[in-house]
Structure 1
Amino acid sequence: MSWKIRVVLLIGFVAWAYRPFRPPPPPRLCGTKGGPPVVGPRIQLRDGRNLSYKEHGVPKEAAKYKVILVHGFSSSKHEASITATDLVEKLGIYFVSFDRPGYGESDPDPKRTIKSLALDIEELGLQLQLGAKFYIIGISMGGQAVWGCLKYIPHRVKGAALLAPVVNYWWPSFPPALATEAYHLQPVQDQWALRVARHAPWLVYWWNTQKWFPGSSVAAGTQNFTAPDLQIIAKMAASGVSHKAYATQQGVHESYHRDMMVGFGHRDLDPMQLEDPFPHGEGSVHLWHGTDDGVVPVSLQRYIAEELPWVQYHELPNAGHLFSCGETAVKDAILSKLLMADKMVH
């Protein structure tokens, strides 16, 4: 082998070895030169960051119920399928969804934690004048934000619903055998991606952008959706409306990758150690999950429900991860159960 080839190989190896330690590209901040435009309304938070939001349902001034929606992984404030039901108008429900930090038009938060997101939600409620308390619904990864609200701002929550919430396999209260069994139901590439997010978060960007082996299937949009989800996805595709590019228009690191680091890292949230936020029955917490969810194992949701008797658990047969985007009857059931605590829904 000639010295030229050796030098080329050495340079290639050094470049490959160095890449994991290179910082990810800076986000393309909305409203800055070269960044996406700011189209929707935003509020400014306590630390100067901007949080983008979108209103749905009946006008806020006329609403009987005010609900904050928290979107999931790879989604945005535009995902508000649960509001597409006649029950919204009938009951007088106002919804506000928002882009979580780094998504859509909301500024990134490099220091994001589950607690900081709960405080963002509290500020959103205060600045939009939603009253002393509000309802909250979290979908998929947004479910962890709901658990965070129940821990850090329970005094602001009137009722909560978690729809197919993402779990952290390393929550201390999970029996190791149960968590391990559920963990190994995930594709091998996702098992490795989660290990990286857990144990080496500084490698998450490299791991999910290199070409040597597959990174997270969820980040790549090739996750293990089951038949019920594929039917819903086909209907959504037929509508011709997609906000996929909008969700990551500032970059994938402060959106997708930050979600992975926060959701599966060493954080101070373990839902099974929470106390009942409504000890006098003044509100309720609901957890909904499908038996055919190929993204989040149903076994772990069942365990959480057993450990938290104050959580009303609703298991949907033959439903996948995206059930909240599906049948109207399911949406009506979710909204009715959540709002029944007010004793005004019959």
Structure 2
Amino acid sequence: MPSPDLLAQSARLPDGRLLGYAEFGDRAGVPFLFFHGEPGSRLSGDLLASHARACGVRLIAVDRPGFGLSTFQAGRTRANWPADVEHLADMLDLDRFGVIGWSAGGPYALACGAAIPHRVRAVGVLAGVGRLGNFDPAMVKGLLRIRPGGNLDDLPEVMARAWTRTRAAAGSGVEAAQESAGTIAAGMREAMRDGPAGVLHELRLLARSWEFDPTTIAGVPVRFWHGKADAVVPARHTRRLAAQLPGSQATFYPAAGHVSLLTVHGGEILRELLRASA
């Protein structure tokens, strides 16, 4: 894990809200912004940290509004996200950058590709999900436990175990995913540090259609990755979405799960994004 000062940074947006972020990998490397899942936070970026260091990537993991250090934004949609990202990039003196969305963060990466193509070098979607119905039923059951005033003490650990479940056999990355359960739980706990309002709002968004059209992305390389052994988000969603985006490329790893996609294959994914963004 990087030093604490790199894990708890925030930027003040023009409307006064704070946007929390953490930095991983090579601070002199090619910048990529990482968008977490649901629930999750900037701390989830640690799942790719060692790969980012090895590949020369400066990974900037950002809390969405109402998660972690980011101020809640009533009524926000996924289409609002690119403006926040662009403001953060300006504050960090980033002219152009790549974006990576994991799980429920996938649509946010695509939204950036559609809205600010002049800033985005490449879009990577890792085990992306578009609607709540694409989640595994056990995962949905855990998410529905989240409510104001509810007892959420054990929920991060319960959900972390669900995220690290995989349909793959032992020895194919399962162990690497299970070792990351603590990182995932910490990210989920941080997501709700000031209460579950942001997480609940995200659940409502997951139940609705996207507020932007990903098929309008032009001039930006789009890459999808998904594990066929993913027990949280079925790979069929990525197949369907990739087929709708002309020029996009999709890679499916037979034994990868929702987490081992990052922990085992993160290096290959980052290297491909670097090639695509060159």
Instruction: Write the distance in 2 (CA, Å) between the matches of 1:324 and 1:71.
Output: 14
Aligned to 2:4: none
| 1:310-321 matched pairs, under 5 angstroms | 310-321=247-258
**Structure 1, residues 269-296: CA drift from partner, whole Å, max 9, x if none?**
343xx23421xxxx42100011112222
3-state SS of paired residue (2:121): strand
Contact 2:167–2:231 (8 Å) recurs in 1: no
Tell me the percent identity.
27
Instruction: Write the distance in 2 (CA, Å) between the matches of 1:50 and 1:185.
Output: 30
Contact 1:162–1:286 (8 Å) recurs in 2: yes
Contact 2:26–2:56 (8 Å) recurs in 1: yes
User: Given the superposition, is the C-alpha separation of residues 252 and 312 from structure 1 closer, same or farther in structure 2, using an over 3 Å criterion?
Assistant: same
Instruction: Write the distance in 2 (CA, Å) between the matches of 1:306 and 1:155.
Output: 24
Any gaps of 5 or more consecutive residues in structure 1? 1-38, 170-182, 195-203, 211-216
Count of residue correspondences: 261
- Work out which of the residue numbers 112, 115, 119 in structure 1 matches 2:79: 115
- Work out which of the residue numbers 79, 103, 118 in structure 1 matches 2:44: 79
Aligned-residue Cα RMSD (Å) equals: 3.3
- Please identify, of 318-327 and 116-125, the stretch whose mean Cα deviation from structure 2 is larger: 318-327
Instruction: Write the distance in 1 (CA, Å) between the matches of 2:251 and 2:221.
Output: 13
Instruction: Write the distance in 1 (CA, Å) between the matches of 2:37 and 2:184.
Output: 20
**Structure 1, residues 316-344: CA drift from partner, whole Å, max 9, x if none?**
111111124422xx11110111111344x
| 1:223-302 matched pairs, under 5 angstroms | 223=162, 225-228=165-168, 231-237=175-181, 242-254=186-198, 256-271=199-214, 274-278=215-219, 283-302=220-239
3-state SS of paired residue (1:334): helix
Aligned to 1:88: 53
- Quote the offset at 1:57 in angstroms: 2.1
Largest Rg, 1 or 2: 1
Any gaps of 5 or more consecutive residues in structure 2? 1-6
Contact 1:290–1:298 (8 Å) recurs in 2: yes
Q: Return the letter of the residue paired with 2:273.
A: L
- Quote the offset at 1:249 in angstroms: 0.7
Contact 1:73–1:140 (8 Å) recurs in 2: yes
User: Given the superposition, is the C-alpha separation of residues 240 and 75 from structure 1 closer, same or farther in structure 2, using an over 3 Å criterion?
Assistant: closer
**Structure 1, residues 14-56: CA drift from partner, whole Å, max 9, x if none?**
xxxxxxxxxxxxxxxxxxxxxxxxx822111121100111122
Contact 2:72–2:197 (8 Å) recurs in 1: no
Aligned to 2:266: 331
- Using the size of structure 2 for normalisation, the TM-score is 0.81
Matched, 1:68 2:5: no
Instruction: Write the distance in 1 (CA, Å) between the matches of 2:158 and 2:76.
Output: 22
Aligned to 1:13: none
Instruction: Write the distance in 2 (CA, Å) between the matches of 1:43 and 1:334.
Output: 28
User: Given the superposition, is the C-alpha separation of residues 138 and 335 from structure 1 closer, same or farther in structure 2, using an over 3 Å criterion?
Assistant: same
Contact 1:138–1:165 (8 Å) recurs in 2: yes
3-state SS of paired residue (2:43): coil
User: Given the superposition, is the C-alpha separation of residues 287 and 337 from structure 1 closer, same or farther in structure 2, using an over 3 Å criterion?
Assistant: same
- Using the size of structure 1 for normalisation, the TM-score is 0.66
- Quote the offset at 1:164 in angstroms: 0.4
**Structure 1, residues 85-143: CA drift from partner, whole Å, max 9, x if none?**
2x635x53222112111111111111211011121111111111111x21111111111
Aligned to 2:130: 167
User: Given the superposition, is the C-alpha separation of residues 112 and 342 from structure 1 closer, same or farther in structure 2, using an over 3 Å criterion?
Assistant: closer
- Quote the offset at 1:265 in angstroms: 1.9
- Quote the offset at 1:253 in angstroms: 2.3
Q: Return the letter of the residue paired with 1:314.
A: T
Instruction: Write the distance in 2 (CA, Å) between the matches of 1:44 and 1:102.
Output: 14
Contact 2:68–2:192 (8 Å) recurs in 1: yes
3-state SS of paired residue (1:333): helix
Instruction: Write the distance in 1 (CA, Å) between the matches of 2:57 and 2:260.
Output: 20
